[in-house]
A and B are shown apart, each in its own frame.
Chain A
């Protein structure tokens, strides 16, 4: 009897291999259209001349490495790369330090204010990046800004400071809103890792007479290293593509003080004279830098975690 039911069911249903294809079809088609094809097409476009005239005609003449030659001989692109490296370094170092500090802080069970921090730490994750940028440009505003108002009230400054409008401070000024928005991610990862560390280790170390600093330095920190490496790689590759905060707060200015790689691609491709080929070339350089980090991540770190 069971065999009859079995065979009848087998007859009606798809073989596992076919079922896998059918169930993955929507995903594969969408990812091919939106991810795979555009990445290849971006590479193809970067070897062709693509501007408004070519878009109208629908023909893109082959130009070989011309876009890349122009890209790397453009001082503005080299400056944008340098600014990106400075930005990424500041952001990643600050986030690693803050994530460990705040992660330890919200891990304190006996401190009731830590519970408030634990809820509020998620807040920045929800804020639309472009709104975050605009809010901080209001905070930084030379005349009306809240930062200057706070500093006046506390008595730190006598005259308003143009935080985002001064070439010396602008690049540092845009790191703070970006750190603010992306910090929750790093803190949550550290928090999860801390919960995996048994309390017995700490108690044993305390019994042996280790001070709080020694317990952190020799017990907690070594156990946090794997997750800190994950944060380092992920945050580095995402910070390379910072766009919204730059767009809302400085628009690359003052002068060219805050031009970063993503801003360069966007400006070249989507603002007159719409040099889309050059924009595609610079976006591909960005993708290669991030791609190298991604492969490093998948090959070494992700495998080890599983």
Chain B
């Protein structure tokens, strides 16, 4: 861009401050809320910065409701979901990591055949993936519930993993196939001349070269499966098998859980994907741009 005038620069800085304030507003709200007691929230309903701070919300969460700090002394009842939230974080981690690994494995196998072997039906898989990305999760929910009920896959971590993997495979194909396509074919050809099989050329040559695309795809798949509510919500109703978003959903409208505790849970829930996005920023951006323009 051309050099802006001093007034132009000032206006641009102001515009940036406005956007930054908007982006950080929910982060500020969830952080401030999680560090307060119900009492301080209710005492002054106009103050922006609370007069007192406390870590009791986190103490209750980490101890599974055992350690009630000063602010929960009067509380006689805590919902089971909150006491068992440790399981929810475990389940969410197991599910997000398994789905990421499965999706990357199956997705790169398919994406490579699409880019390299180029049959009519493998190329058709790209169109199917494009269309599949538009299928509303909600349309899938009802038949998945009925089908998984008949298969006995309700209330199981495996059921959620299978459903999420199938739902996210189209994303993986759309991100990985164009990348395999860009890798020079000559590299695989020379490996084949040295005695590699077709699969060996994929496994030893192309797959390592696709590392950046695998990182993009893995980051996006992890974030989406960590954040997903509807699929586990429909497939699971026991506290032992719930994921973090399902527990958060169960707190909506629960009169026994006040905003301060809810905000502490929300803050813990958003930390893993926020950290991942900030660490893998470059890859997330690339994945979103490829996956979007191409799907």
Interface residues of A (CB under 8 A from B): 5, 9, 12-14, 16-17, 19-20, 23-24, 26-27, 30-31, 33-35, 37-39, 41-42, 45, 50, 55, 58, 101-102, 105, 107-111, 113-114, 116-117, 119-139, 141, 143-144, 146, 148-150, 152-153, 160, 177, 180, 184-185, 188-189, 192, 199, 202-203, 206, 227, 230, 234, 237, 240-241, 243-244, 247-248, 251, 262, 265-266, 269-270, 276, 279-280, 283-284, 286-287, 290-291, 293-295, 297-298, 302, 305-306
Contact = CB atoms under 8 A, between A and B. Distances in A.
B173 interface: yes
Contacts of A124: 23, 26
Contact of A298 (B22, B110, B127, B251): B127
B16 A24 contact: no
9 tightest A-B CB contacts, nearest first: A34-B166, A294-B134, A113-B16, A41-B143, A38-B143, A128-B227, A126-B273, A126-B277, A241-B136
Given A146-B29, A148-B45, A247-B249, 17 more contacts: A30-B162, A35-B135, A55-B146, A105-B16, A113-B17, A121-B23, A122-B278, A124-B26, A125-B223, A130-B229, A188-B288, A202-B1, A241-B136, A251-B252, A283-B141, A291-B135, A298-B130
23 contacts: A14-B199, A23-B112, A27-B106, A27-B173, A42-B139, A45-B143, A105-B19, A109-B1, A111-B9, A126-B274, A129-B227, A131-B270, A134-B266, A135-B263, A138-B259, A144-B259, A146-B29, A153-B46, A265-B139, A270-B145, A283-B136, A290-B136, A294-B134
Contacts of A111: 4, 9, 12-13, 16
A189 B293 contact: yes
Chain A interface, >50% SS class: helix
A42 B140 contact: yes
Contact of A34 (B33, B162, B197, B229): B162
B270 A127 contact: yes
B19 A146 contact: no
Contacts of A283: 136, 138-139, 141-142
B27 interface: yes
Interface of B: 1-4, 9, 12-13, 15-17, 19-20, 22-30, 32-33, 41-42, 45-48, 105-107, 109-110, 112-113, 117, 119, 122, 125, 127-128, 130-147, 149-150, 162-163, 165-167, 169-170, 173, 195, 197-199, 223, 226-227, 229-230, 234, 244-245, 248-249, 251-253, 259, 262-263, 266, 269-270, 273-274, 276-278, 281, 284-285, 288-289, 292-295
A247 B286 CA distance: 31
B131 A295 contact: yes
A17 to B, nearest CB: 7
A34 B48 contact: no
Contact of B248 (A128, A143, A251): A128
B245 to A, nearest CB: 5
B41 A55 contact: no
A149 B25 CA distance: 12
A185 B109 contact: no
A270 B226 contact: no
Given A105-B19, A284-B139, A135 B266 contact: yes
A30 B45 contact: no
Contacts of A297: 130, 134
A149 B157 CA distance: 42
Given A128-B226, A129-B229, A37 B15 contact: no
Contacts of B289: 188-189, 192
